[in-house]
Chain A
């Protein structure tokens, strides 16, 4: 059963092509699929993937249409060829009673013609596209296919959309040529057997060429080489060849031939074996070879189908993901309408607070910025909460708070600020985000904006931000 699902056929090839036009999967899904089928080789993987996903193609499968056409066409034409072969045999073996059946005619049709056809097939197998185009014109199948494509039952197939390269078409064509030739030869063989059973046929040989019986017998013995040991009676003897030689001059047959009429019938064994060997068995071998060639080509073409290389790459490349599972939660900032920005510091404040500054830093800032205050106090930083609380509880009148502009306001600061603003004694709170000392404490606009965005969430008339 496993073999069935993982065997590459024309149907699976066409189905994969159709599926890939519709669906290619995702890297993640394809890789997970391949990991579950560790033992499978690339072709098997592709076929298993096809089996798993083919349900996605909801329209009629191209393969069904094409294979239906192929089967119908092959059956019809195969039957016709079989009949044709049978009829050809019957015509060739028709014995009027006045003249024996010429073995040379039979050999031309039963041996020479099939061998020539096989030779053409052999050339075609190894030829490039140009050779194929040339040789295919010698086959009736080529013309028949051209005609059949115009018939109603073939019209709903879009042949141009099928993924058949010149090479793949060549192998399909060759395979079918072998099949039809086989059926033709089978027809002749059946005809021969039937004629032999139902009629008394006298065989002879006649040619305009100056060939003596000895040379002709040597040629026949060479042809009979494959079955010489197996069926010795199917090798014409020199006596038989000599006896069968006749000429059309004169109104009557050689008296010797008439006397040995029973012996002339012995040719049939040779003819049957020649047909069986050169037309049927050899053709069977050719069919096997072309079938193998077709399979190999199909495998090759499978990897060139659009989307297959990506699919295979996804099968063998580990799927790497770095994305978060959890949705991001965004901050909603409620912005107040009131503008709380002032451009300059007042010179006088009751108390100056330095958030996250040290006393030394506050003194240095004081040297640069001309602000008078009665007290300079440090809050935040390494202060404990009780220390901060003590300071907050002592605040009144106008307060200036220096903050580091580059450090965004934390909730720790906001907590203290809310406490300060909540004090009735405090009339005004100015917040001055300062830049770094090397820049004379001038802050950057974008840093101040960060403070502004945060402070705008506090609704208090006492609050102002000073952009130094």
Chain B
């Protein structure tokens, strides 16, 4: 009964993207993917385990290397009825298990003769060739449920030609590009796999449920991660002991640099956490691009890409200032003729025009024992939270949609980002939290929940 779960062997010609498909389906970016034929030397099972129980297993296999010789052997030994052909294949594997010449074929046929379904992968961006028929014949001899995947590695499209040929050998023919496939395509492919054999349907449906749950869980966790990070950074205060009564210019500059460094390290850590959450362990290879170093956190470019536009920023700045102003009006019970709201709006709007440098809150705090403390932060720039949030959401969206087969570096696209993904209505909730954090106040639980709802809505909008 331990072997009753569905198994699928991903097979095909060398360099047709078998490993990429397995990496994408197994959510494993550690699988070696290269354009050198024969990269995959042994079969590797990738079981989908839920609480230790295997739901299904995928096998990454080496490509066919000597298909004609194998087929010749089968024909020579296979003057048997169709229902006995699998025994001939088994006999071939048995006899050649220690034969180096057929190591690849033995590795790829082994899971199939042990009951695995066949997923035959071809590159449909290249013309069909009759030489593939030998491979398809061998697979037909195995008599296992089978489907073909049209993988579009290049730009051309020969899917029609391939479909006509593959349709004669395989029960199902589906297009799946592991480099671009996201969660939905993954689920669709699994649904196709579920159709291959009636006994497998239930297990694959369970797997789909689990993967759906896992996906939603990851989204929730992403929102928690981003929200926590936002609160941490926006309320961050850098502290440094100073000897004199006042901080020297140099001391102030050093403290500011340390403040920035600390915030950058928070961003780096947040990105690492998100990458780990979405199971991208190999991202480090492209670190300089992935951590958006090219577009520094405090740079003008970052502000223009991820922050709010000048118009929106003034409105947001004005509304943030107006909150303080309105508070003043409330204190004097409106006797200020709501002048506070007006002044607050103007001051808040003007403040957003300054750069990052002038908007740190730098304080000297007296301490016991004659020493003083220089503090930098929290960041007072109104646009900064949007830059921070935009970058975090952008990075998280890339990670959530990134195929585990891809090794490409990611690039920052020049888009007006936060403004587009966070609706102006929702921005009010964000702003409430940002204002409190700027003042070093505590965020109430309910407000934090509202904040998370806005972040989630923005994230979902981004990945939909």
Known: A318-B213, A322-B28, A408-B37. A382 touches B46 (CB 8 A): no
Within 8 A of B (CB), among A276-320: 317-320
Contact with B along A225-240 (1 / 0, CB 8 A): 0000000000000000
Q: Is A70 an interface residue (CB 8 A)?
A: no
Known: A322-B47, A356-B131. A446 touches B35 (CB 8 A): yes
B146 to chain A, nearest CB (A): 21
Within 8 A of A (CB), among B1-47: 13-15, 26-28, 30-32, 35-42, 44-47
Partner of A319, one of B51, B60, B68, B123: B51
Chain B residue with the shortest CB-CB distance to A319: B51
B377 to chain A, nearest CB (A): 23
Q: Is the CB of A412 within 8 A of B214?
A: no
Contact with B along A349-390 (1 / 0, CB 8 A): 000000010100000000000000000000011111100000
Q: Which residues of B contact A32 (CB under 8 A)?
A: 51-52
Q: Is A245 an interface residue (CB 8 A)?
A: no
Q: Which residues of A contact B67 (CB under 8 A)?
A: 410, 412
Q: Is A348 an interface residue (CB 8 A)?
A: no
Q: Is the CB of A436 within 8 A of B51?
A: no
Contact with B along A404-428 (1 / 0, CB 8 A): 1011111110010000000000000
Chain B residue with the shortest CB-CB distance to A324: B44
Q: Which residues of B contact A324 (CB under 8 A)?
A: 26, 28, 31, 44-46, 60
CA distance A73 to B217 in the complex (A): 47
Q: Is the CB of A410 within 8 A of B65?
A: yes
CA distance A193 to B147 in the complex (A): 94
Q: Is the CB of A385 within 8 A of B213?
A: no
Known: A409-B37, A453-B36. A326 touches B45 (CB 8 A): yes
CA distance A371 to B32 in the complex (A): 40
Known: A324-B44, A356-B131, A412-B69. A331 touches B36 (CB 8 A): yes
Q: Which residues of B contact A436 (CB under 8 A)?
A: 126-127, 156
CA distance A326 to B28 in the complex (A): 13
Q: Is B134 an interface residue (CB 8 A)?
A: yes
CA distance A356 to B135 in the complex (A): 14
Q: Is the CB of A322 within 8 A of B46?
A: yes
Q: Which residues of B contact A329 (CB under 8 A)?
A: 41-42
Within 8 A of A (CB), among B199-239: 210-211, 213-214, 217
Q: Is B285 an interface residue (CB 8 A)?
A: no
Q: Which residues of A contact B38 (CB under 8 A)?
A: 331
CA distance A384 to B134 in the complex (A): 11
Q: Is B429 an interface residue (CB 8 A)?
A: no
A416 to chain B, nearest CB (A): 10
Known: A32-B51, A35-B51, A407-B129. A322 touches B26 (CB 8 A): yes
Q: Is the CB of B51 within 8 A of A328?
A: no
Q: Is A454 an interface residue (CB 8 A)?
A: yes
Known: A320-B210, A411-B66. A326 touches B126 (CB 8 A): no
Q: Is B133 an interface residue (CB 8 A)?
A: yes
Q: Which residues of A contact B64 (CB under 8 A)?
A: 410
Number of A residues near B (Cβ < 8 Å) is: 42
CA distance A318 to B55 in the complex (A): 12
Q: Is the CB of B42 within 8 A of A410?
A: no
Known: A404-B129, A410-B65, A410-B66. A328 touches B37 (CB 8 A): no
Within 8 A of A (CB), among B163-210: 210
Partner of B49, one of A320, A381, A406: A320
Within 8 A of B (CB), among A319-336: 319-326, 328-331, 333
Q: Is B48 an interface residue (CB 8 A)?
A: yes
Q: Is A170 an interface residue (CB 8 A)?
A: no
Q: Is the CB of B68 within 8 A of A412?
A: yes
Q: Is A450 an interface residue (CB 8 A)?
A: yes
Chain B residue with the shortest CB-CB distance to A453: B36
Contact with A along B365-394 (1 / 0, CB 8 A): 000000000000000000000000000000
Q: Which residues of A contact B50 (CB under 8 A)?
A: 318-320
CA distance A319 to B47 in the complex (A): 13
Q: Is B72 an interface residue (CB 8 A)?
A: yes
Q: Is B130 an interface residue (CB 8 A)?
A: yes
Contact with A along B254-285 (1 / 0, CB 8 A): 00000000000000000000000000000000
Chain B residue with the shortest CB-CB distance to A449: B35
B216 to chain A, nearest CB (A): 11
A2 to chain B, nearest CB (A): 24
B396 to chain A, nearest CB (A): 19
Q: Is A31 an interface residue (CB 8 A)?
A: yes
Q: Is the CB of B15 within 8 A of A450?
A: yes
Q: Is the CB of A410 within 8 A of B26?
A: no
Q: Which residues of A contact B126 (CB under 8 A)?
A: 404, 406-407, 436
Chain A residue with the shortest CB-CB distance to B41: A329
Partner of A318, one of B31, B60, B66, B210: B210
Q: Is the CB of B28 within 8 A of A382?
A: no
B190 to chain A, nearest CB (A): 12
Q: Is the CB of B32 within 8 A of A380?
A: no
B155 to chain A, nearest CB (A): 11
CA distance A454 to B38 in the complex (A): 10
Within 8 A of B (CB), among A422-468: 436-438, 446, 450, 453-454
CA distance A328 to B62 in the complex (A): 11
CA distance A220 to B37 in the complex (A): 103
Q: Is the CB of A358 within 8 A of B130?
A: yes
CA distance A173 to B158 in the complex (A): 78
CA distance A121 to B160 in the complex (A): 83
Contact with B along A10-38 (1 / 0, CB 8 A): 00000000000000000000011001000
Q: Is the CB of A454 within 8 A of B37?
A: yes
Q: Is the CB of B45 within 8 A of A328?
A: no
Q: Is the CB of A326 within 8 A of B44?
A: yes
Q: Name 5 interchain pairs, CB-CB below 8 A, sorted by A.
A: A381-B130, A406-B123, A407-B126, A408-B14, A412-B68
Closest 6 CB pairs of A and B: A408-B37, A411-B65, A322-B26, A329-B41, A324-B44, A408-B15
Spell out B's residues near A (CB within 8 Å). 13-15, 26-28, 30-32, 35-42, 44-52, 60, 63-69, 72, 101, 104, 123, 126-127, 129-131, 133-134, 154, 156, 210-211, 213-214, 217
- 18 more contacts with CB within 8 A, not counting A324-B44, A329-B41, are A32-B51, A323-B26, A324-B60, A328-B32, A329-B42, A331-B41, A356-B129, A356-B130, A382-B130, A385-B72, A406-B154, A408-B13, A408-B37, A409-B37, A410-B13, A411-B65, A436-B127, A450-B37
